[in-house]
Structure 1
Amino acid sequence: MRAHPMVGDSLLAVLLALLDLLVFAINAAAPFPKVHPWYVTVPMDLVMVLPLVFRRRAPVLTAYAVLAVSIPHSVLQLGVGSLFASAIALYTLVVYVGRKQAAWYLAAQLVSTGAQTALMWRTQTVSALILFTVTFAFCWLLGEFVGARRAYHTEVEARLHLLETERDQASRIAVAEERGRIARELHDVVAHAVSVIVVQADGASYAVRKDPDLAERAVHTISATGREALGELRRLLDVLRNEDGIDVPRTPQPDAQSLADLANRVSEAGVPVRLQVEGNLAGLPTGVSLGIYRIVQESLTNTLKHAGPGARAHVRIERREDVIEVTVTDDGAGRARALVPADGPLPGGNGVIGMRERAHVYGGSLDVGPLPGGGWRVRASLPVGSAP
């Protein structure tokens, strides 16, 4: 019925018409019937109840259509259909439109019914007014009750819809954040490994005839870098595949304690790296420790790709009370300040974006830019106490 309101309203109209016809039949069977011919009563009854079919589609129009038809229906004294139809119209206005429209309609009904009672039902004035008052008061109160319940259910449905929307939005945000995290991990692993492999492969191709030992060391570095990258990629794939939370064997995740190995690999790739650590990095939150490693890794990868021949890098990690300061600089000739527009975007592509996102995840900050005398600097600040 709720999905097809006109079906229920049509049944209501039919029942009301049958009730009016039943009253007509009873009066017609009386010893001294005072009824109009059926060809007057039946059409008037049908016209009386027809607007009720549309009472929920057009409640205001239905109410005043019933009011207009109820006047001749009552004047001709064709039955109780006009009273019940008018009461149903009032109930509909209270539930679906509001008290203001219902009050205007009730006032119009009071004027109409009062005039009809005074003119036509002189001997039944008191009983008619009592019947009118009781019927309309009951329908108004019933409409208030049903309207309140309807408003309550509407509010509950709206809140449930809002909660569902917020839950879906939170899920989308979580998925986007997870995608971003995986993208950063893949970028850091692949970009660093490929950069080291390319540099070492180029060096090996030049040294294979002149310095076989150097070429062999380069090949070993390529092999070690590739295996390490493969292990980290497998770890990421294990995380993606492990939907049931089963603890599967994984390659150990790099952290701040692995910076020395990272510096050695980059040095072997052709860029000497000086690592300076001030303070104890043990016991750092896992996310912060991984973030330090990835920021240094991406910075040194960019040095390998962009700093040019003969460049050197300096990595400085300083732990204060609750903040880790990470500074990576190089003296590459390809990064002079004059080559970078003052209002232009910084080079580095997704790598710089990934470093900045890593810093922001832990409530930190990242500053990237050229040095005045040439070279490049990456400076990150990571609060230790804000790690998730």
Structure 2
Amino acid sequence: MTARPGAALGRLYRAAPAVQDSVLAVALSLPDLFLFSDFALPNVGLADRLFTVGYAVLGYAALAARRRAPRAVFGYLWAHALGGELLTAAGVFDYSPTLALLAALYTVAALRSARLSALALASVTVPVALSVRAALADVPAAERLTSLIGVACFYGMLNLEVWAVGRGVRAGRAAAARDRLALARAQDATLAERARTARELHDIVANAVTVMVLQAGGARHVLRADPDRVEHALDQIESSGKTAVAELRHMLLVLRTDGERLAAEGSSFGLADLDPLLNGARQAGLRARLEVTGAPAVLARSVDLTAYRLVQEALTNAAKHAGPGAATVVRLDWSRADGRLRVEVADDGRGTPTAARSELSTGHGLIGLRERVAVCGGTFDAGPTREGGFRVAAALPAEEHFRQEAAS
């Protein structure tokens, strides 16, 4: 089925600004010739009419580029209007180009700065004054003052209104652009908050549940052979569950009360809480140890929480994938050379992987860590090691706190 010719022309008109401006030029040239020249008078010869039309075409052709080069088109049409007035005063023809210059003035007002559009408005007083003079040429002296006031008000108000409409259109477009920008920022903020909430939920729930499942699985294997170990595992499961519920309660409270992010982070965990985290990893079967290099400093809350979450997620992954028995080392390097804290968690991959490791994986842990580290202005790296294990590392900014420590 072929498209109708009218529909195709309509699509071309909407898609091509130059086509729209060409149509505008034709639409304005006709009333301009009939209202502001002697083109339609019966006593005008064919040669004079053709000369007037030709001069009009020289001006209106420029409107096809008015949106691409509004300042240049306005300057050209200003000169065109001035030339028409001077030729009229010289008796060559009787034509005061008006509507094309109005279209150019509107375009400058709508697309250019307030200063440039004000200059354009002021400049049109020159051809307007000549138009007023031409309009009063045949007016009797007794009626000249009244006619002068009327004609001057007509041309002045016409140009001023066109200029004001252009400025209003520009203001409307600017307001719409600000609204779109504000909406985009709000959407970005919403997506960022959703991502942050997803990271928190993953770190709180997924890690706690993973540890509890691993501990429960270990307890099942020694249910009859070692009741004391089972009881200890149940204590650890209970402790992990209470910790997760407490974090969830605090997170929900912050979300419901529109609390500040720092307030949420201030009551969350940090590197000072690594000992319980390492003990939980050992209860899950990992042979975990901590290595610290350099003198620790007090971190920003967001950085401190990020470092803790990185260790938490890496230990959970080691427990799931490397399995109980894997040797895992947590390294904290407080390097003063570049003002960054380096956090690294690596396992040797030589444990006994749990059969449920694929079911325990959400697939978002490392993605969330990368996002956390990026928000803090750090760098993140994760991947397998040559020995067959896995390594998660980050360099987090801490130079501000090093400077504070040195100043004290």
- Range into which the TM-score falls when normalised by the shorter chain: 0.5 to 0.7
Q: What residue is the counterpart of 1:368 in the other structure? A: 382
Q: Distance in 1 between matches of 2:83 and 2:32?
A: 7
Q: Identity of paired residues, percent?
A: 34
CA contact (8 A) 2:281 2:315 kept: yes
Q: Distance in 1 between matches of 2:95 and 2:264?
A: 87
* Contact 2:292 2:331 survives alignment (8 Å): yes
Per the alignment, do residues 205 and 334 of structure 1 end up closer, same or farther by CA in structure 2, a change over 3 Å counting? closer
SS in 2 for 1:372: coil
Task: For residue 184 of structure 1, report the CA deviation from its aligned partner.
Answer: 0.8
Residue among 234, 241, 252 paired with 2:256:
241
Change (3 A) 1:216 1:223: same
CA RMSD of aligned residues (A): 4.1
Question: Does 1:272 find its partner at 2:287?
Answer: yes
Question: Which has the greater radius of gyration?
Answer: 1
- Whichever residue aligns with residue 381 of structure 2, its letter is D
Q: Which of 345, 348, 351 is the matching residue for 1:331?
A: 348
C-alpha displacement of 1:315: 0.2
TM-score where L is the length of structure 2: 0.61
Distance in 1 (CA, whole Å) between partners of 2:232 and 2:43 is 110
Residues of 2 paired with 1:364 and 1:172: CA distance? 25
Q: Residue 369 of structure 1 aligns to which amino acid in structure 2? A: G
Counterparts of residues 174-185 of structure 1 (less than 5 Å): 174-185=189-200
Q: Which residue of structure 2 lines up, in the alignment, with residue 353 of structure 1?
A: 367
Per the TM alignment, residue 62 of structure 1 is displaced from its structure 2 partner at its CA by 4.1
Provide the secondary structure at the position in 1 that maps to 2:267.
coil
Q: Is the 8 A contact 1:238 1:250 kept in 2?
A: no
Q: Are the structure 2 counterparts of residues 274 and 334 from structure 1 closer, same or farther at C-alpha, using a change threshold of 3 Å?
A: closer
Give the C-alpha shift of residue 191 in structure 1.
1.7
Q: Deviations over 1:247-298 (max 9, x none)?
A: 9999931111001110011101111210122344452100000000000001
Cα distance in 1 for partners of 2:195, 2:265 equals 21
Residue 216 in structure 1 maps to residue 231 in structure 2: yes
Q: Write the distance in 2 (CA, Å) between the matches of 1:248 and 1:315.
A: 27
Letter of the aligned partner of 1:209 in structure 2?
Answer: R
Change (3 A) 1:334 1:260: closer
- Distance in 1 (CA, whole Å) between partners of 2:385 and 2:264 is 44
- Give the alignment partner of residue 81 of structure 2, picking from 96, 103, 111: 103
**Residues 261 and 279 of structure 1, relative CA distance in 2, 3 Å threshold:** farther
**Aligned counterparts of 2:251 and 2:259: Cα–Cα separation in 1:** 15
SS of residue paired to 1:354: helix
- Residue equivalent to 1:380: 394
Could you list the runs of 5+ residues in structure 2 that have no partner in the other structure? 1-23, 45-62, 64-69, 97-135, 353-360, 402-408
The count of residues paired between Structure 1 and Structure 2 equals 293
Of the structure 1 ranges 352-361 and 294-303, higher mean CA displacement relative to structure 2 is found in 352-361
Does the C-alpha gap of structure 1 residues 313 and 379 become closer, same or farther in structure 2, counting only changes over 3 Å? same
Query: Moved runs in structure 1, 4+ residues, more than 6 A?
Result: 67-70, 104-107, 128-134, 247-251
Structure 1 residue 136, shift from structure 2 partner: 5.4
Q: 1 CA distance for matches of 2:375 and 2:38?
A: 71
Q: CA deviation at 1:363?
A: 1.3
What's 1:194 paired with? 209
Secondary structure of the 1:127 match is coil
> For 1:337-382, what per-residue CA distance to the aligned partner results, in whole angstroms no more than 9, with x for missing partners?
xxxxxxxxxx983111111111111111111111112111111100
Corresponding residue for 1:37?
Answer: none
Q: Name the CA distance, whole Å, in 2 between partners of 1:125 and 1:350.
A: 83
Q: Secondary structure at 2:168's aligned position in 1?
A: helix
* 1:124-139 correspondence to structure 2 within 5 Å: 126-127=138-139, 138-139=153-154
Distance 2:215 2:344 in 1: 25
Q: CA deviation at 1:139?
A: 3.4
Amino acid paired to 1:142 = M
1:198 to partner: Cα distance: 0.7
Q: Which residue in the other structure is 2:158 paired with?
A: 143
1:327 shift after superposition: 0.8
> What amino acid is the match of 1:326?
V
The change in CA–CA distance for 1:105 and 1:219 in structure 2 (over 3 A counts) is farther
